[in-house]
Structure 1
Amino acid sequence: MRKTLALVGVLTLLPLPAQAETPAQALTANVVHDPAKGTFSLSVQRDGRTVVLPSPLGIRTATADLTSGLRQVARSTRTVSEKYRMTTGKRLDRTVRHTETRYSLSGAGNARFDLVVRVAEDGVAYRYELPEPTDVLSEASAFAIPAEANAWLMPYNPQHENRRFRTTAGAAAVGEYGNPSLFQVGEDFVLLTESNVDGRYAGSSLRHTGGGTYQVQLKDQRVTGARIGPWRTVIVGDLAGVTESTLVDDLAEPSRIADTSWIRPGKVAWSWLSEHSSPRDFERQKVYVDFAARNGWPYVLVDEGWSDKWVPELTRYARAKGVDILLWFHWNQLDTAAERQTMLPLLQRWGVKGVKVDFMESDSQSRYQFYDAILADTAQRKLMINFHGSTIPHGLARTWPHLLTMEAVHGAEQLPLPDGNPIQPFTRNVVGSMDFTPVSLEVGPKVTSIGHEIALPVVFESGWTHFADKPEAYDRYPEALRFLNQVPTVWHQTEVAGGYPGETAVFARRNGDRWFVGGIAVGDARTLTAPLSFLGAGPWLVETIRDNGGRDDVVRSTARMSSSDTLSVRVPANGGFTAVICPATQGTTTCYKPIPQVPQTSLTVTPTTSVTAEPGSSFEVTGSFTVSSTRPVMDVELKPSVPDGWTVTGNPVTTRVLRQGEVLSGRWTVHVPAGARPGGFEVPVAAEYLVPDFPRVHVAKAVRGLVPLTGQAYVSDLSFDSATNGWGPVERDMSNGESGGGDGRPLSIAGTQYTKGLGVHAESEVVISLGGTCRTFTAKAGMDDETTSPGSSAFQVIGDGRVLHQTGVLRTGDAPVALTVALTGVRVLALKVTDGGDGKNFDHADWAEAHLTCS
């Protein structure tokens, strides 16, 4: 445990000496003025030892060079005291006590800015504040580290996924390195990073310019309209102190979400890494839902490839089992306000609880403005979020507590060797939740032990922990799975129990009255130790889970221990261990808790066949909800939900308690507005109830129907039942373009442009419900001229599952094929494009002037 120490910030105006330090002053920040050059620099000391050498300060804007010729105008000091609560992180409750000194500085032409410096128990930070919004060109900001200091660095890339490696501050090659960067200066450790970066500024890297100097390099050549810059952050202490630091969050802006009750961290079953094609498979995703429900994991993430054709049904299936669905998106699918205004309410209606947004891969100001926008919009819709292919955490999870995790790591998706695992908790994971996607038992290189893998959810912190392997793999290791079912993702306290970057890492984290210990090592077999001094008065029951030889399942043993004891575990090469510790009260034989399950229930709805609903008409729906289990359910509500603009006659049906065999029934009349859009619809009837250990459980079944199409219409103006596409979304009245929505060009086939139609990419399928009212479908089919290499596709018109017409293979440059297809009696139309037999690359295809004529 680290003791609280007094903090000071020291300003020295040369040639005067620095203020004297007292033994209680652990950290000092010396801001030094050189009056001859008019420059300012900052150095940092810990217990009198210099850990950051004098390093330049200053900023260059479009109107002034504020790096030299500076003088101090004023200075003031205050104490910053705050308390706040997180939804994720190394501990939930946080206390902030910083000494803040503001230096008002003036340069040539009386241009001014403020240098704001904060000194905390766990580090030093500074930022620049300009008097009015100004374009920023660069910063003089740099950190001079003693050249002989050990260093753990990551070559910069915008997705922050390169491997970290060990070197020294001076020996590292000249070039860019990513935040955070860790250095060992004698007995002290220094972690360099940044905090409170958002769309008002740009992100940065650390450019090693030689010696041990690391220059802050902005990722935009011009940051527009900046006024308050990010905190340049130096976390300082022993290794435990740096690792347990919350300084990055402490410097961030307070939460913008008043009610966080809907935000729920937890374990996630995730299929993409172990079987890439599975997110396209409804039945396979149900297997993951069943596995999650059986093991008490609250979420399933459906990654790239999901279809709106079946996600609503999967969501209903999952919620009835106490499991919620998360969905993957390429960021280009949500990068405009219009796309978010369309998609996010739809996700809410489906019952989806969160999104994984991927491939941002930029630290530019414009990309940070996207982060700002989507965080605000998802918060408004009560959708949790996970950023992949992203920047590092900058305190965003304090400002936006529904941000459950971020990637920015060389994680399991890279099929990494284990030597990086004991570096990540001391570097990347220090600054925020890290979506490493751990516990690869059968997927990946399989060079770590099972004990090492199951320790990762303790050693690594993530508000959502996405497990990397498939259900069958975990089921083959039942003792390992039992531990995974116990480990939480929310921590009240974190202690570093031992380790050294790149060699070992031993962490103890507390949730409620239980401690979870995880230890990992790379290299030869050895003994890992964890002094139990973090425990309070005992005795304590300690259940240790360790390897059992080869890659066999782990074994569990039990002992009684006290806070004066040390837990020692022999681990194999690249091995690890875990432990669960709880109070050894009378009669307690295990720290493991039962896995909660939702009660067995059933719901029936009518009509059971498809409803044809003319605009302006009404129809009746019913629902009956029954409890099959002996355990009663509480606060039950049964009601339908209808599409926007539709109305219902009849109130929800409720009961305080519903016991085994009892039935709750309701009857309602649904009114279809006169202006209802044609196409398929769903009216879900849902029962919601409360049982211990779960949020409100949602059991629903949908009444399905169709508003028939009449008159004439272009297909691009209609609602789709579903739309799948081989690259990006299906585009309306433009070519397929790139991976984002709305990024196509005018539809063009063999040099002729068309104003109406669909732009797609093989394999593609657009499904539209017609209701048997349409007579003909017409279109001009062909490959779009935007293909940069010859593409080829075949077009199919399918009615009620039967191929009504197909073109054969068409290639880039071929004249469009005119289609006229009879649709008499067809209820469901599908427009399908295949890859032509030679792969889908370059297969941008157009349904130009796609048109329906109906009764």
Structure 2
Amino acid sequence: MGRRWQRARRAVAGVAVAALASGGLAVAAAAPSAAEQGAASGWTVAGPGGSALSAELGLDADGDLRLAVDRGGAPVLLPGRLGIRTDQHDLTTGLRFTGRTDRTVHESYRMTTGKRLQRSATMREATLTFTGADGARLGVVVRVSTDGVAYRYQLDGPGQVTVEQEASTFEVPTDAKAWVQPYQPSYETERTETTAGAANEAKPATCDGDTCSFGYPTLFAVGGTYVLLTEADVDGRYSGSHLDHQAGSSSYHVALADGAAVTAPGPLATPWRTAIVGGLDTVVGSTLVDDLAPPSQVKDTSWIRPGVDDWSWLSDGNSPGNVDRQKDFVDYAAAHGLEYTLVDAGWQASWVPELVRYARARGVDVLLWFDWNDLRTQAQRDAWLPKVKAWGVAGVKVDYMYSDSQSTFQWYDAILKDTAKLKLMIDFHGATIPRGLQRTWPQVMSVEAVRGEENGQNPTRDIFLAFTRNVVGSMDYTPTWFSRPGRQDTAARELALPVVFESGWTSLGDKPEGFATQPVAEDYLDQLPTTWDETRLVSGGPEQQAAGDRQVVMARRSGDRWFLGGILAGTGDTMKAPLGFLGKGPWLLETVEDTPGADGGGQLRRTVRTVTSADTLTVAAADNGGFAALACPALKGRTDCDEKVVTAPATTLTLDPSSATAAPGTSVAVDARFTLPQGDALHLVHMTVDRGRLPAGWSASGPDVTAGSLPAGKVLDGHWTVTVGKDQPGGTVEVPVWAEYANPAGKGAPPVHVEQVVTVAIPLHGTVYASDQPFLTETNGWGPVERDRSNGETGAQDGGPLTIDGTVYAKGLGMNADARVDIDVQGRCTRFEARVGVDDEVAGQGSVTFTVLGDGRQLAASDVVRGGQPAVELTADVTGVHTLALVVGDGGDGKNFDHADWGLAQLSCAD
């Protein structure tokens, strides 16, 4: 349909346009007469307050509904098909208009993350209703704001709704410049610059014949207007989608994930099909995706704390498995005022609580990585999330979802409810793009969905990301790996990335030794916030400059300070940043740039000068270079923009005793002494036994201890009596005692938490199951050792019942060769017994050996046991043994299918 059709629609829709112009909140059009139904074929939805944007809808003679977008009267999106087909109704053609209502929607809300904390948006909304050939009703809700157009479908029928396909199509002029990303649910493919019609010519792996799939968000340049296509408000009611494009065409069709139907209870409102429209500054500054999302589900957000963390895995891949090395990263975070340290894959439950205590006493909180397979089911989440919360972990990073399916979005719904309830922040890695998620669930600090620093460097990619992926939500890019071997950019460009890219948690990628080589960068990062009051695109764009390079300069304001980041891809050039966004009066401007003539590994230099908003910052950038800057009001006597980094002082909390033995029903007296050896006094000090973390049936008597002020050298004493539960089984229990005081950093930082534990040993007695005891050490050939379940797959608690040759065992251990667990049996037990074999889940495959060790000596061993064989009885005399080891070997033919079960696995111990 051409412009003539669109002009005709404006004439037909004059009454509706007038209703919108009235600005009423909910101006409803009367139901059309039969004559009006036959005449009406086009409708306009104009933007608010004289906005240049409008959406134009029309029905053709076949009853096919189409939508186009104009900006300033010029076409941006050509008429594209609308409609939806369910298993019951085809609402893609043969439609008949039945009515329209209009209203103005105003959204005012506050975010915990993002390009701007305080949000306000006004959108004009029209709901047009249609009837299909079989009488079924379709609602099409269209919203137009100053920064874009969005529409969704409403299906108001009762009962279950199964959507098979949408007709939703965006029509883009074929000669429009395009920045597209071949679709994969990880969103880690490279974007390329092309045209809307020629997007398939690179023949990405996501093509099927003449049709190729592209991921959101996708950017187009139509004349002087940019259009960023994406979607908003997706949850478990629906699936995610992507764009399918046929070679040479102007059509980008919305395709549901995996081509699968989605099923939801009616009435159903689909996700918003969203086009952010305007100049580059409008696109970059747009909050439309969040504006379209549901309001926050978390009323109290005081516990949600964005911040900077040091992340050891990128630069030191083995470090997450080494508690001493992780303490180096904690120490670095503490010294530089970073809020967090992130412990990635390889951590052990045996030492994480100790690391958390070490970190929190230094004013640093710990974030903990999880494979989503360990949190996939409700039982897994119920086992792990309260546990890590009790350890004191502040948030989790969950990885490897890699799906846009409806079932995966239902999983997102579930884990978001769980983490909100427990007050755990969360970062999704190996994840889908944000679609307004951070407004609805403000504990989401960041989302990967990007080919970031860990996937190799591509300076051009980084330019594209500023105008595509990072527009729609926080992006976990993990920048600043200065010591990276063979780095392809300069140090100044690397420093600019955490300003150019917004993320609620910014994970710095280098190790302490690497940061130490760039002290100027360290000073800048010490000042870096991760929440912003304002974001501005200062200069640049995704297109190549005349000099052959691409550039972007971004400015973000926190309080009265502006942080600037500029990056360049390609041949070195002069980068210009007009400073018109600064307020009145003089400003101090600190600029960090590469030393002239230095290569990518050179040192950085910082210069300070006074500027005004009329000035332009110019930086001579090297190849793939850049700069970072910081501006603040030039107050009298001020020589720089730095705010002092305040760290937690060293304190001492000692417990007497640090360990004890107590039988069920008996008590332990616990004395605590908390001191500040030197420094300024602590304030609002509070010390207690953490009664909420004692096992059921335990109790603690004695008062909490407080002090409004605790000067250096003064001791705060506490005394409690802890009583062991009468039904407490044998083993060890840690009794936590902590002291908290007001964080000297201020600015809403949480109290500094200093904690120690009394390890109470409860003598083993009677029948004791190995699966109920803590492991001193644990290794396993495939996933974790499972308690009372088979080995299953790589996730924790993902196995089935322990089953050997058809016999099910309620208790026991599931392992995979080669494997070993060590258990403290206190020298109190006399006999170990188990029924061992290969679990039925491997269908007769696998071969293993079982060995029992006592204090390093072999006490019992099996021959090779194969899949499909009956269980073998294995017994051992463990009299006097303190450390019992249960070991599984691979039977001599590798570990494949070696799912080894220790059925029952019980000890007979003294009464």
TM-score (norm 2): 0.89
- Are 2:65 and 1:40 aligned? yes
- Are 2:566 and 1:519 aligned? yes
Q: Which is worse superposed, 700-709 or 666-675?
A: 700-709
SS in 1 for 2:502: coil
Displacement of 1:714: 3.4
Residue type at the aligned position of 1:656? G
- Structure 1 runs of 4+ off > 6 angstroms? 6-23, 749-753, 788-794, 814-817, 834-839
Work out the CA distance in 1 between the residues paired with 2:336 and 2:363.
11
Check the 8 A contact 1:636/1:690 in 2, yes or no: yes
Aligned to 2:250: 212
Work out the CA distance in 1 between the residues paired with 2:455 and 2:863.
37
Aligned to 1:663: 715
- Aligned partner (choices 89, 92, 109) of residue 67 of structure 1: 92
Q: Which is worse superposed, 216-225 or 681-690?
A: 216-225
SS in 1 for 2:383: helix
Residue type at the aligned position of 1:241? T
Q: RMSD of the alignment, in Å? A: 2.6
- Aligned partner (choices 648, 660, 663) of residue 611 of structure 1: 660
Q: Which is worse superposed, 597-606 or 736-745?
A: 736-745
SS in 2 for 1:430: helix
SS in 1 for 2:62: coil
Residue type at the aligned position of 1:540? W
- Aligned partner (choices 110, 113, 124) of residue 88 of structure 1: 113
Displacement of 1:260: 0.7
Work out the CA distance in 2 between the residues paired with 1:364 and 1:794.
41
- Are 2:826 and 1:771 aligned? yes
- Aligned partner (choices 306, 311, 335) of residue 347 of structure 2: 306
Check the 8 A contact 1:542/1:579 in 2, yes or no: yes
Aligned to 1:3: none
Aligned to 1:510: 557
Check the 8 A contact 2:186/2:449 in 1, yes or no: yes
Displacement of 1:375: 0.4
SS in 2 for 1:472: helix
Work out the CA distance in 2 between the residues paired with 1:556 and 1:735.
59
Check the 8 A contact 1:807/1:817 in 2, yes or no: no
Displacement of 1:677: 3.2
Residue type at the aligned position of 1:625? F
Displacement of 1:797: 3.9
Alignment of 1:525-674 (within 5 A): 525-548=572-595, 549-550=598-599, 551-608=601-658, 610-641=659-690, 642-645=693-696, 646-674=698-726
- Aligned partner (choices 57, 61, 64) of residue 31 of structure 1: 57
Check the 8 A contact 2:178/2:194 in 1, yes or no: yes
Displacement of 1:489: 0.8
Structure 1 residues 125 and 20: CA distance shift in structure 2, 3 A? closer
SS in 2 for 1:413: helix
Displacement of 1:811: 7.7
Aligned to 1:162: 189
Work out the CA distance in 1 between the residues paired with 2:896 and 2:559.
53
Aligned to 2:4: none
- Aligned partner (choices 762, 767, 770) of residue 707 of structure 1: 762
Aligned to 1:76: 101
Residue type at the aligned position of 2:640? T
User: What fraction of aligned residue pairs are identical, expressed as a percent?
Assistant: 50
1:724-758 deviations in whole A, cap 9, x for unaligned?
A: 54433322343211123443245466898766431
Structure 1 residues 841 and 21: CA distance shift in structure 2, 3 A? closer
- Are 2:423 and 1:371 aligned? no
Residue type at the aligned position of 1:504? Q
Q: What is the aligned residue count?
A: 847
Structure 1 residues 817 and 439: CA distance shift in structure 2, 3 A? farther
- Are 2:445 and 1:404 aligned? yes
Work out the CA distance in 2 between the residues paired with 1:806 and 1:466.
49
- Are 2:249 and 1:202 aligned? no
Q: Which is worse superposed, 785-794 or 255-264?
A: 785-794
SS in 2 for 1:135: strand
1:85-121 deviations in whole A, cap 9, x for unaligned?
A: 0010001000010001011111122211211000000
Displacement of 1:30: 0.5
Displacement of 1:603: 0.8
Aligned to 1:177: 214
Q: Which is worse superposed, 619-628 or 706-715?
A: 706-715
- Are 2:276 and 1:235 aligned? yes
Check the 8 A contact 1:770/1:826 in 2, yes or no: yes
Displacement of 1:799: 4.5
- Are 2:263 and 1:224 aligned? yes
Aligned to 1:189: 226
Aligned to 2:735: 683
Gaps of 5+ in 1: 1-5
Check the 8 A contact 1:9/1:29 in 2, yes or no: no
SS in 2 for 1:110: coil
Structure 1 residues 837 and 314: CA distance shift in structure 2, 3 A? farther
Residue type at the aligned position of 1:553? Q
Residue type at the aligned position of 2:670? V
Aligned to 1:336: 377
1:149-172 deviations in whole A, cap 9, x for unaligned?
A: 111111111111111111111001
Structure 1 residues 106 and 17: CA distance shift in structure 2, 3 A? closer
Displacement of 1:275: 2.2
SS in 2 for 1:373: helix
Check the 8 A contact 2:567/2:626 in 1, yes or no: yes
Alignment of 1:463-482 (within 5 A): 463-482=504-523
Displacement of 1:362: 0.8
1:819-852 deviations in whole A, cap 9, x for unaligned?
A: 4333223344343446789976655333334221
- Aligned partner (choices 723, 736, 742) of residue 791 of structure 2: 736
Check the 8 A contact 1:85/1:92 in 2, yes or no: yes
Work out the CA distance in 2 between the residues paired with 1:251 and 1:389.
24
Displacement of 1:505: 1.3
Work out the CA distance in 1 between the residues paired with 2:610 and 2:860.
73
Structure 1 residues 812 and 515: CA distance shift in structure 2, 3 A? farther
Work out the CA distance in 1 between the residues paired with 2:887 and 2:738.
34
Work out the CA distance in 2 between the residues paired with 1:721 and 1:654.
36
Check the 8 A contact 2:843/2:868 in 1, yes or no: no
- Are 2:396 and 1:346 aligned? no
Alignment of 1:378-417 (within 5 A): 378-417=419-458
Check the 8 A contact 1:242/1:430 in 2, yes or no: yes
Residue type at the aligned position of 1:62? D
Displacement of 1:674: 1.1
Work out the CA distance in 2 between the residues paired with 1:632 and 1:13.
81
- Are 2:434 and 1:434 aligned? no
1:536-571 deviations in whole A, cap 9, x for unaligned?
A: 112011110001211112111111111011101011
Q: Which is worse superposed, 190-199 or 498-507?
A: 498-507
Structure 1 residues 842 and 454: CA distance shift in structure 2, 3 A? farther
Work out the CA distance in 1 between the residues paired with 2:506 and 2:818.
32
- Are 2:872 and 1:845 aligned? no
Aligned to 1:824: 879
Work out the CA distance in 2 between the residues paired with 1:213 and 1:521.
33
Work out the CA distance in 2 between the residues paired with 1:182 and 1:8.
33
Check the 8 A contact 1:687/1:699 in 2, yes or no: yes
Work out the CA distance in 2 between the residues paired with 1:579 and 1:679.
56
Residue type at the aligned position of 2:190? R
Work out the CA distance in 1 between the residues paired with 2:841 and 2:864.
15
Check the 8 A contact 1:768/1:829 in 2, yes or no: yes
Check the 8 A contact 1:612/1:771 in 2, yes or no: no
